[in-house]
């Protein structure tokens, strides 16, 4: 992939509150997904696949597991002498104004000044999709927009501060509303933006000087008439994660071969950290159907419609249906689990029964013993 003139920025803490359970111990971006991935892998791979070779990860809190996952950026081919991966923790962490995208951007002027790229592409981590950012970047330069806003057309997800757009026939955004817990259908923003770096710096300085913190409300909405803001519809399959139920549903969607195929493309791979575990082992008593199983798993029980992460052990006589079992969890025999999300290293002892529901899955904290 040819290098582009675009700098990448990823915001792994945006929407942390929407997945409160899973983000108590980690950033939204390091929430595990589909057996071996973390949510940040998707925007990060999308950037790398579009030829972006310098990416800043703008962290805010709980970012240890994220840093462990990202390492030097080697897995994304972002361990470079020039450019590469930069983790950008808060600048002046005690600053109370550190509450939104604007404040974090304001702390990054030095990073911007040290980057020779002229454009910036920004992304959050709550959308799982193999999205062609290259096409988005091209559209931005082709339309001559000041800012290009990626959006999805469809049912509005229940997210706080959801940006809903109206655009005219030429794609220019004419109206922006900020909604809490949207309803019905519409065009909603997904935290995906392309703009010139110098314009971004100027807009952020401007907002900071007025003590404004909210990128969507205080910049995009405010200047919708003055700036040429173009909408860009993301037409690739994109699964929006806005709650535990939608997180659960997005994982379960990966059991559908067609949907899985649209996410894991040969021409645009999704990269993630390599763990060097051995292949999954199926025992004589294993009975697995319609499930996704990662390397390092040991399966001797019954597993149906489930996502099994790396190094999970399912013992003989355990029965799992519609479950998500994260890395290192162990489920003993005689257990019956239905619609349960087991976080990392959970142990479920003999003969326990837990039954959730697809729209209300049971979530078990990391390292719990049931």
Partner 1 sequence: MLLAGGQGSRLYALTRNIAKPAVPYGGKYRIIDFPLSNCINSGIETVGVLTQYQPLELSDYIGSGMPWDLDRSQAGVHVLPPYQRNKGADWYKGTANAIYQNIAFIERYDPEYVLVLSGDHIYKMDYSKMIEAHKEKNADCTIAVIEVEMEEASRFGILNTNPDGSIYEFDEKPAVPKSNLASMGIYVFNWKKMRKYLIEDEQNPDSENDFGKNVLPAMLNAGERMFAYRFEGYWKDVGTIDSLWEANMDILNPKVPLDLSDREWRIYSRNAGLPPHYVADSAKVQNSSISEGCNVYGEVEFSVLFPGVTVEEGAIVYDSILMPGAHVGKGAKVQYAIVAENVEIGENAVVGERPEDVSDLKDWGVAVVAQDVKVYPGATVKAKAMIDADVKGDE
Residues in contact with partner 1 by CB under 8 A are: 34-37, 74, 254-255, 257, 260, 263-264, 269-272, 274, 276-296, 298, 307-309, 311
Say whether 102 sits in a helix, a strand or coil. helix
Identify whether the C-beta of residue 338 lies closer than 8 Å to the C-beta of residue 248: no
CB of 154 to partner 1, least distance (A): 24
CB of 60 to partner 1, least distance (A): 29
- Residues 62-84, buried b or exposed e (16+ Cβ, 10 A)? bbebbeebbeebebbebeeeebb
Residues 6+ apart with CB under 8 A from 94: none
Concatenated DSSP letters for 197-261?
Answer: HHHHHHHHHHHHHTT---IIIIIIITTTTTS-EEEEE--S-EEE--SHHHHHHHHHHTTSHHHHH
Considering the complex, state which of residue 203 and residue 324 has its C-beta at the smaller distance from partner 1: 324
Say whether 111 sits in a helix, a strand or coil. helix
Considering the complex, state which of residue 112 and residue 247 has its C-beta at the smaller distance from partner 1: 247
CB of 128 to partner 1, least distance (A): 12
Considering the complex, state which of residue 116 and residue 367 has its C-beta at the smaller distance from partner 1: 367
CB of 260 to partner 1, least distance (A): 7
CB of 298 to partner 1, least distance (A): 8
Considering the complex, state which of residue 224 and residue 280 has its C-beta at the smaller distance from partner 1: 280
- Residues 179-196, buried b or exposed e (16+ Cβ, 10 A)? beebeeebbbbbbbbbbb
Considering the complex, state which of residue 225 and residue 284 has its C-beta at the smaller distance from partner 1: 284
CA angle at 293 for the pair 292 and 299, rounded to the nearest 5°: 130
Considering the complex, state which of residue 48 and residue 194 has its C-beta at the smaller distance from partner 1: 48
Determine the longest span between alpha carbons in the chain, in angstroms.
68
CB of 68 to partner 1, least distance (A): 16
């Amino acid at each position: 992939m040819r290098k582009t003139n675009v700098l990448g920025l990823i915001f792994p803490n945006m929407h942390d509150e929407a997945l409160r359970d899973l983000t108590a111990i980690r950033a939204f971006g390091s929430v595990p997904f589909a057996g071996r991935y973390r949510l940040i892998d998707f925007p990060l791979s999308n950037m790398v696949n579009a030829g972006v070779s310098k990416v800043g990860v703008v962290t805010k809190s709980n970012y240890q597991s994220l840093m462990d996952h990202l390492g030097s950026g080697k897995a994304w081919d972002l361990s470079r002498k020039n450019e590469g991966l930069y983790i950008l923790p808060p600048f002046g962490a005690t600053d109370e104004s550190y509450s939104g995208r604007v404040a974090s951007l304001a702390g990054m002027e030095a990073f911007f000044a040290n980057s020779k790229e002229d454009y910036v592409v920004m992304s959050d981590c709550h959308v799982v999709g193999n999205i062609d950012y290259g096409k988005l970047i091209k559209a931005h330069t082709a339309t001559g927009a000041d800012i290009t806003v990626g959006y999805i057309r469809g049912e509005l997800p229940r997210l706080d501060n959801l940006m809903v757009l109206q655009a005219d026939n030429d794609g220019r955004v004419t109206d922006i509303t900020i909604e809490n817990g949207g309803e019905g259908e519409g065009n909603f923003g997904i935290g995906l933006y392309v703009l010139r770096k110098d314009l971004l710096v100027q807009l952020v300085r401007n907002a900071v000087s007025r003590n404004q913190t909210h990128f969507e409300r205080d910049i995009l909405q405010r200047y919708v008439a003055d700036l040429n803001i173009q909408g860009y519809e993301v037409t690739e399959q994109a699964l929006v994660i806005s709650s535990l139920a939608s997180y659960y549903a997005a994982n379960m969607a990966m059991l559908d071969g067609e949907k899985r195929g649209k996410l894991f493309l040969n021409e645009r791979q999704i990269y993630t950290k390599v763990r060097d575990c051995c292949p999954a082992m199926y025992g004589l008593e294993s009975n697995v159907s319609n499930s996704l199983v990662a390397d390092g798993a040991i399966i001797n029980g019954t597993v149906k419609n489930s996502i099994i992460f790396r190094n999970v052990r399912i013992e003989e006589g355990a029965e799992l249906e519609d479950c998500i079992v994260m890395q290192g969890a162990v489920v003993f025999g005689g257990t019956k689990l239905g619609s349960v999300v087991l976080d990392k290293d959970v142990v479920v002892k003999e003969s326990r029964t837990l039954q959730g529901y697809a729209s209300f899955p049971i979530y078990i904290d990391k390292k719990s013993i049931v």
